[in-house]
Structure 1
Amino acid sequence: MEIKNKMDSSFYINNPDNTFVDNVTTAILEKCDDAMTFHSSLPGYKPTPLIHLPNLSQKYNVGNIYVKDESFRFGLNAFKGLGASYAIHQILKKKPQIETFCTATDGNHGRAVAWSANFFNKKAVVFVPKGTTDQRIQAIEKEGAIVEQVDGNYDKTCAYAKAVSEKNGWELVQDTAWENYEEIPAYIMGGYLTLFQEIEDSLLLPSCPRIDLVFLQAGVGSFAGTGIRYYLEKYGANRPKIIIVEPTEADAILASFKKGKITTSLGNSETIMAGLNCGTPSLGAWDLIKNGSDISIKIDDKYSREAIRELYFPNGSDTKIISGESGASGLAGFIAIMKEQEYKPIKETLCINETTNILFISTEGATDIDMFDSIISEK
């Protein structure tokens, strides 16, 4: 069946060429084989659990559903510590004299930078966008950082953090890349490789993946780009099919697919999926996503809520998983595809059936407990 992409559609069906682009990001990622060794040396390191949900699989009539639960990562309740710690480790090898690190964040990345800076006995200053909840701000402050709220969205906050860092001689540790700022975001992506390497022993085989579909949520796209880099490097054209999931009102990746180039989302940036609430894709991630993902989809917040409840109130003997609004968004995208007529072409394109094996990454736990409590009380 031939599917034509429409500019006003909630999804884009890609025809990836499964090749790497010769750029700063891919060059650095090739040299990040030591990320797992570094993380293994940190106090409290252990692989986060990969959870099999057979009853949820049966409910949706698919082969197997697996969820990598990142709420256990370094006591930070999210995966971001992998990227921030590895990047700061690499920076300090070159510039040991640095005293203060700075970043902009929607929450989890800023907490990770604060935690990592504190581990290396350095200071951290973190800027957050307007509307960031008090709980997220307090979580960052508890890691020892100074936090300041900016009257603007994520993109404006990034620009502000960049300007202040340059003025004060601080080192900016941002998880999105732009022209002439690509090395540090690439190191952050390199740190994320540990997550995918941990999956290796229990889920993947040397030459062929035991999974058919991988759902990867995207804000600026660094996490999704890392996953794509991992699967392309290991399996090439035999990689699992990859679905990128974004909020409806922060659909920078989808907008960029439709335009054929990096584009800022025209959404209003109103979404409960705070970790994905970003306006423009990272320069370092876009080429990987464009060349190695199969579907880009945007979803309403209601699917995130449903996914959170699906994991928190497990089916039968399935393990309970506490996943936040952004953490559950991969599963949310799957639920939307399986339920809504609008997404039927995606289901058919991906050939989802009773033998399909699917991987989701729950990138965070309940990082906004008030929001989380209100969602699970809706059941």
Structure 2
Amino acid sequence: MFTSNENVLHLPYPDGLKAILNIASAAQSREWLSHWQSINMAGTRLWNLPGLAQQLGVAQISLKDESTRSPLGSFKALGAPIALVRLIMRRWPEHRLTAKDLFEGRHRDLLGHFTVISATDGNHGKALAAAAQAVGCECVIVIHANVNEERERAIARFGARIIRTSGNYDESVEEAARLATKNGWNVVSDTSYEGYEDIPRDVMQGYSAIAAEVIEQSDSTVDECAFTHVFVQGGVGGLAAGIVGYLWEFHQLNRPRFIVVEPNQADCLYQSAAAGRVTKATGSVDSLMAGLACGEASPIAWKILQAGADYFMTVSDTAATEAMRVAATGNACDAPLLVGESGAAGLAGLIALLQQPAWKAEAGLNAESRVLLISTEGATAPSVYKECVGETAESVLSRQAAWLKRGG
């Protein structure tokens, strides 16, 4: 499915949205994250894929590779840690805490009885657990019935207490909120709800580091964006809002077109665009693209997306699997890339859009288009990745190394 956003604003970045997400706060978050040893703030690679661009009939395809952001394997390492640090700073303002001291574990005595909790499909929970372990607080992670044991073990390795519930992601969010109220714990979620916006906003500010790096790595200037189109994953909308808000504020009227991509069965943002307000997904929500299997949009993220995203679309799990294989295969011009299930959504969306002449024309995609994709994760569930691609993550990375060695 594909739809244009009737409410999109082609105006300078509004002050009302700047109060939610802005470049100055994103820069501060980025500096704070540089003190965490478990994250790569030198920048993840922006791959150029000329072979794929020629094959698909566009001028340029660039892919931002978040699989190397940290040992955690995904972009989520940018969001949960910064939200946790800001939460702690707000809780104890009299201590004049710094991000550097917190990430170095110098306030473990203060935080020993401080507990955070979150629901997760895998990557956000793993990032929060790792950050909590670093600063020295307790962490509880709620996972739902469809989170596989491989992802559960990955979270548990960082010392978090795991609670598994029945139902889907949205029901696990409700359970985390219930447990927090009952036990006096602190929810660190990437989705907002009534009365709960500060922490999801902080998570989105962390995600904006991706957009900042893309600007630095490309030929983008304030007056001219290096890309005409940006495909970005949906989920609850936090990543998409972080990318849209940053690039919109930076480029103002010269911003690119934004296309938000979701699974067919977890289409909360698509349905929200159609309804003109936040609404729920119409499908089963469960998806191979586990990080995007969300049934309800984050209201605070939706404020940015309703105004700034040009198009919304959905793709099938089959399309995501095929996109993973396309990325992993590579060619003489393009390196083999390790792109996980949710990370493949943008490429799957681009391929699907180009196969539909009417959608392609509506989105303004043509032989002169310069496309940015964001691969949000690598093989965060190695067995799932192998089943989808027919090859292990290690094998793909080995072929990538050989491609680079040849001077690719």
TM-score range, shorter chain: over 0.9
Question: Is 1:364 aligned to 2:377, yes or no?
Answer: yes
Name the counterpart of 2:4.
13
C-alpha contact 1:29 1:187 (8 A) present in aligned 2: no
* Alpha-carbon shift at residue 270 of structure 1 (Å): 2.8
| Structure 2 counterpart of 1:304, one-letter code | A
User: Does the 8 Å CA contact 1:312/1:321 hold for their aligned counterparts?
Assistant: yes
Match of 2:228 in 1: 212
Contact 1:28–1:183, Cα closer than 8 Å, also in 2? no
Question: Does the 8 Å contact 1:216/1:244 carry over to 2?
Answer: yes
Percentage of pairs with the same residue: 34
Q: Distance in 2 between matches of 1:182 and 1:25?
A: 12
1:36 aligns with 2:49: no
CA contact (8 A) 2:21 2:245 kept: no
Is 1:188 aligned to residue 203 of structure 2? yes
SS at 1:200 equivalent: helix
Are the equivalent residues in 1 in contact too, given 2:145–2:167 (CA < 8 A)? yes
What amino acid is the match of 2:129?
Answer: A
Give how far 1:375 is off: 1.4
Please report the TM-score for the alignment, with normalisation by the length of structure 1: 0.93
In structure 1, distance between residues paired with 2:286 and 2:77: 26
CA–CA separation in structure 2 for the residues paired with 1:376 and 1:156: 30
Once the 2 structures are TM-superposed, how far is the Cα of residue 49 of structure 1 from its aligned partner? 0.8
**The one of 285, 295, 298 aligned to 2:314:** 298
Q: Which residue of 2 aligns with 1:66?
A: 62
Deviation at 1:325, TM superposition (A): 0.7
Residue equivalent to 1:95: 91
Aligned to 2:261: 245
Instruction: Tell me the amino acid that sits aligned with residue 390 of structure 2.
Output: S
Aligned to 1:83: 79
* Displacement after TM superposition at 1:29 (Å): 7.0
TM-score by length of 2: 0.86
Unaligned runs of 5+ in 1: 1-9
Residue number among 49, 54, 59 corresponding to 1:53 in the alignment: 49
Aligned partner of 1:201: which letter? Answer: E
Contact 1:110–1:126 (CA under 8 A) maintained in structure 2:
yes
1:43-66 alpha-carbon deviations (Å, 9 max, x no partner): 253211111111111111111111
> Which residue identity is paired with 2:150?
Q
* Structure 2 counterpart of 1:3: none
- The Cα shift of 1:148 comes to 1.3
1:311-350 pair list within 5 angstroms: 311-339=327-355, 341=356, 344-350=357-363
Counterpart selection for 1:126 from 141, 158, 171: 141
Q: Kindly indicate whether the alpha-carbon contact (under 8 Å) linking 2:21 and 2:242 is maintained by their aligned counterparts in 1.
A: no
CA contact (8 A) 1:39 1:82 kept: yes
Q: Is structure 2 residue 213 aligned with structure 1 residue 226?
A: no
SS of alignment partner, residue 358 of structure 2: helix
SS of the aligned residue for 2:117 comes to strand
Structure 2 match to 1:141: 156
Q: Give the partner amino acid of 1:360.
A: L
Of stretches 83-92 and 27-36 in structure 1, the one that deviates more from structure 2 is 27-36
Q: Deviations over 1:132-178 (max 9, x none)?
A: 10111011011111111111111110010011011111111000001
Whether the 8 Å contact between 2:17 and 2:303 is mirrored in structure 1 is no
Equivalent residue for 1:115? 130
2:399 maps to which residue?
none
Query: Displacement, 1:119?
Result: 1.0
CA distance in 2, matches of 1:135, 1:24: 39
> Is the contact between residue 78 and residue 206 of structure 2 (CA under 8 Å) also seen in structure 1?
yes
- Within 2, Cα distance between the matches of 1:226 and 1:167? 32
1:250-289 deviations in whole A, cap 9, x for unaligned?
A: 0000111111111011201231010000010001111111
1:4 is matched with none
Q: 1:300 to 1:21 in 2, by over 3 A?
A: farther
Tell me, what secondary structure is at the counterpart of 1:31? helix
Report how many aligned residue pairs link the two structures: 366
Counterparts of 1:288 and 1:304, CA distance in 2: 26
